A and B are shown apart, each in its own frame.
Chain A
Amino acid sequence: MSSLREDEFRAEVFRADLEALAGRSRPVDLHDRVVRASRKARTVSAVAAVAVITVVVAGLGLAVWRRPTGPVLPAGPLRPVMLPQGDVPQMWDSGGWLVRDRRAFSDGTLTVPGWPGLPQCLSGRLEFMFGGRAVDNPASVNKEVHVVKSLRADVDHDGSEELLVHLTCHTGFQPGDEEAIMAQVVAYSGDRLLGRVVASPPHTDAPFIGGGGPAIHIMDVSVNDGTVRVDWYDMKSDTSPHSSTTYGWDGHEFKQVGDRTGLGGPTGVELSIEASGARGVDDLGQAFVAVDVTVHNSGPARSSALRLAMVAPVNLQPAGPGWEGCLLPSQAPWLMNLTPSPGQFTGAFAVNCPASAIDPGQTITWRFHFLVGDGPNAAVLSASASPIQPDPSIPSGPRPVSDAPALETISVEVDQQPPGGHEGDRSDNTVQVPVP
Chain B
Amino acid sequence: MSEPAEALVSPEPFIGRAARDRAEEFAAFVRARTPSLLRTAFLLTGDQHLAEDLVQSALVRTHRAWRRIGPPDHAEAYTRRAMYHLQVSLWRRRRVPESLSAAPPEPRDAGPDETDRVDVRLALLSALRRLSAAQRAVLILRYFDDCSEAEAAQVLGVRVGTVKSQTNKALSRLRVVAPELTRHYFATEVDR
Contact = CB atoms under 8 A, between A and B. Distances in A.
B182 A391 contact: yes
Contacts of B43: 18, 21-22
B178 A29 contact: no
A34 interface: yes
Contacts of A336: 99-100
Max chain A CB contacts within 10 Å: which of B30, B86, B100, B187? B100
A131 to B, nearest CB: 10
B38 interface: yes
Contact of A380 (B57, B89, B105, B121): B105
A33 interface: yes
Contacts of B42: 21-22, 24-25
B185 A397 contact: no
Interface stretch (B10-18, B68-76, B167-175): B167-175
Given A24-B42, A337-B126, A386 B180 contact: yes
A326 interface: no
A26 interface: yes
Contact of A387 (B39, B48, B92, B179): B179
A43 interface: no
Nearest to B57: A138
Contacts of B101: 24, 333
Contacts of A141: 90, 93-94
Contacts of A20: 117, 121
B86 A391 contact: no
Contacts of B183: 391, 393
A57 interface: no
B134 interface: no
Interface in A1-21: 1-4, 6, 8-11, 13-15, 17-21
Q: Is the interface of B mostly helix, strand, loop or mixed?
A: helix
Given A175-B95, A333-B102, A383-B122, A22 B144 contact: yes
Interface residues of B, number: 75
A9 B185 contact: yes
Interface in A105-144: 129-130, 137-138, 141
A66 interface: no
A260 interface: no
B137 interface: no
A17 B120 contact: yes
B124 interface: yes
A159 interface: no
Given A13-B185, A29-B34, A384-B125, A172 B180 contact: no
A8 B48 contact: no
A393 B188 contact: yes
B123 A387 contact: yes
Interface in A354-388: 379-380, 383-387
A383 B89 contact: no
A64 interface: no
A17 B124 CA distance: 8
Max chain A CB contacts within 10 Å: which of B60, B98, B140, B167? B60
B64 A42 contact: yes
Given A17-B120, A28-B52, A384-B100, A397 B31 contact: no
A37 B60 contact: yes
A4 B171 contact: yes
A367 B187 CA distance: 52
A255 interface: no
Given A10-B185, A22-B40, A25-B41, A30 B34 contact: yes
B175 A172 contact: no
Contacts of A2: 172
A345 interface: no
Contact of B93 (A4, A10, A176, A390): A176
Nearest to B40: A22
A387 B99 CA distance: 13
Interface string B37-59: 01111110001110111011101
Given A4-B186, A42-B64, A386-B178, 16 more contacts: A6-B167, A17-B120, A22-B42, A22-B43, A31-B30, A33-B56, A38-B63, A130-B53, A138-B90, A177-B95, A333-B101, A383-B105, A383-B122, A387-B178, A393-B182, A397-B176
| Closest 9 pairs (CB-CB, A-B) | A176-B95, A25-B42, A334-B99, A22-B39, A38-B63, A34-B59, A24-B103, A31-B30, A27-B35
16 contacts: A8-B192, A10-B185, A10-B186, A13-B185, A14-B143, A15-B143, A25-B41, A30-B55, A34-B63, A35-B23, A37-B57, A175-B94, A334-B99, A337-B98, A384-B123, A387-B177
Interface of A: 1-4, 6, 8-11, 13-15, 17-31, 33-35, 37-38, 41-42, 97-99, 102, 129-130, 137-138, 141, 172, 175-177, 333-337, 379-380, 383-387, 389-391, 393-394, 397-398, 400
Interface of B: 23, 26-27, 30-31, 34-35, 38-43, 47-49, 51-53, 55-57, 59-60, 63-64, 86, 89-90, 92-95, 97-106, 117-127, 140, 143-144, 167-168, 171-172, 175-180, 182-188, 192
